[in-house]
Amino acid sequence: MTRIFSGVKPTGHLTLGNYLGAMRRWAEEDQHRADALFCVVDLHALTVEHDPARVRRLSRQAATLLLAAGLDPALCTVFVQSQVDEHLRLSYLMECTASDGEMRRMIQYKEKAAQEAARGGTVRLSLLTYPALMAADILAYGAHEVPVGEDQAQHLELTRDLAVRFNQRYGTTFVVPRATHPAVAARVMDLQDPTSKMGKSEQVRTSGIVYLLDEPEVVRKKVMRAVTDTGSEVAYDREKRPGVANLLDVLAACAGGDPERLAEEYDSYGALKGDVAAAVVETLRPLRKRHAELAADPSYVDEVLRRGAERARGLARPRVDAAFRALGLLG
């Protein structure tokens, strides 16, 4: 049976980008057609400056939102990375498989290291080695497919390279996984800066970020104030009109249809924004409702995570043990 693995970092409140780029497919498609594991990757949240209490709170909130988005513990495995030791055990072996140069080439590393330096902060070593842990997350489970947004494509290529290299050097141990991306909204852009990704919390300004738990009125305001492009004609052109293209992508993802065709239906930015706002509010409505119900009973979420970690451990352990032996460790 096909195995699927994916994850989300608890570095901030989850966004519409997380939902349209990743979580929605996990719930609507992936969990129904494969043995799927979805992980709150809390160890990854420690690669940048963090507040322990906040990471703890956001981890629980991310897990609750995954369930609110429709992940069903009867169909898939939902768990927290730090509760399964195998990720860290295998991560070190991945560091011994990867080279310093290929880690430094990662766009995410370069961007985040530059941001950190601009703030006058220090760059944690774990920010550089992050992709080794991410590869371990995936390879420990023998995942065939990894449903992610487009921003993760380079990390997935590296994961594939590491799997192939390990298998060639030490004997076939890992499945070589592949990334899958959604047909539309694989990269949702910031509403105030449509040339950069809608990220959780990296930006100081949050008015261009729609959070999954934003009140409908807040969502509406953010969409209505979205930066559009000069000119007034509604056309789908990601290069020349990134603001409008982003709104059309979001509309297509939330209400259905094809972004280029949808463009033909509008003759003003205002009308387009009104429909986008309504479509996003409707898309998030059931998720917000379910989140409120689940948040009222944290012991349920904790129990789901406990069981998820138990299952994940059982799946990962034999493959990680095999990797230890393959490398020459007595294990």
| Pair 305, 80: CB distance under 8 Å | yes
**CA proximity to 259, closest of 267, 268, 250:** 250
Map residues 251-290 to x or -, x wherever contact with ligand TRP holds by CB under 6 A.
----------------------------------------
The one among 13, 24, 25, 44 contacting ligand TRP by CB under 6 A: 44
Q: Could you say which residues in the range 53-112 bind ligand TRP, by CB under 6 A?
A: none
Q: How far apart are CA 139 and CA 44, in angstroms?
A: 16
Q: Which of 14, 20, 40, 41 binds ligand TRP (CB under 6 A)?
A: 41
Go through 27-66 and write b for each residue having 16 or more CB atoms within 10 A of its CB, e for each that does not. beebbeebbbbbbbbbbbbbbbeeeeeebeebbbbbbbbb
Among 4, 7, 34, 266, binds ligand TRP (CB under 6 A): 7
Q: Of the listed pieces 5-13, 115-123, 227-235, 254-262, which binds ligand TRP according to CB under 6 A?
A: 5-13
**Residue 155 binding: pick among ligand TRP, ligand AMP, none (C-beta 5-8 Å cut-off by kind):** ligand TRP
Per-residue contact string for residues 200-219; x = within reach of ligand AMP by CB under 6 A: x-------------------
- For ligand AMP, the closer of residues 93 and 223 by Cβ is 223
Query: Do residues 293 and 286 touch, judged by C-beta distance below 8 A?
Result: no
Q: Tokens 């493959």 map to which residue?
A: 319
Q: Does 187 bind ligand AMP (CB under 6 A)?
A: yes
CA 229, CA 233: separation in Å to the nearest integer? Answer: 9
Is the alpha carbon torsion for 140, 45, 254, 156 positive or negative?
A: negative
Q: How many residues does the chain have?
A: 331
State the burial class of residue 299 (Cβ atoms within 10 Å of its Cβ: 0-12, 13-18, 19+).
exposed
Tell me which residue has its CB nearest to ligand TRP.
7
List 4, 5, 13, 17, residue binding ligand AMP (CB under 6 A): 17
| Interface mask toward ligand TRP for 117-136; x: CB under 6 A | -----------------x--
Instruction: Count CB atoms within 10 A of the CB of residue 319.
Output: 17
The interface mask with ligand AMP, positions 150-169, x = CB under 6 A, is -xx-----------------
- Nearby residues of 196 by Cβ (< 8 Å), 6 or more positions away: 189, 190, 203
Q: Contacts with ligand AMP in 18-47 (CB under 6 A)?
A: 18, 21-22
Catalytic residue numbers read 112, 197, 200
CA atoms within 13 A on the CB side of 171: 8
Which one, 148 or 212, has the nearer CB to ligand TRP?
148
Q: Which one of ligand TRP, ligand AMP, none is in contact with 21 (Cβ closer than 5 to 8 A by kind)?
A: ligand AMP
Q: Output 90 or 148, the one with its CB closest to ligand TRP.
A: 148
Check binding of 9 to ligand AMP (CB under 6 A): yes
Q: Near ligand TRP by CB under 6 A, which window of 6-14, 94-102, 212-220, 272-280? A: 6-14
Q: How far is CA 77 from CA 32, 65, 311, in A?
A: 12, 14, 7
Token readout for 70 is: 């429709």
User: Could you say which of 5, 38, 79, 236 contacts ligand TRP (CB under 6 A)?
Assistant: 5
Report what 138 binds from ligand TRP, ligand AMP, none; CB cut-off 5-8 Å by kind. ligand TRP
**Quick check: 210 and 223 in contact, CB under 8 A?**
yes
Alpha helices in the chain (DSSP H): 16-18, 24-25, 31-33, 52-68, 86-95, 100-104, 107-118, 125-139, 153-170, 216-224, 242-255, 259-264, 269-295, 298-327
Residues within the interface to ligand AMP (CB under 6 A): 8-9, 17-18, 21-22, 148-149, 151-152, 186-188, 197-198, 200
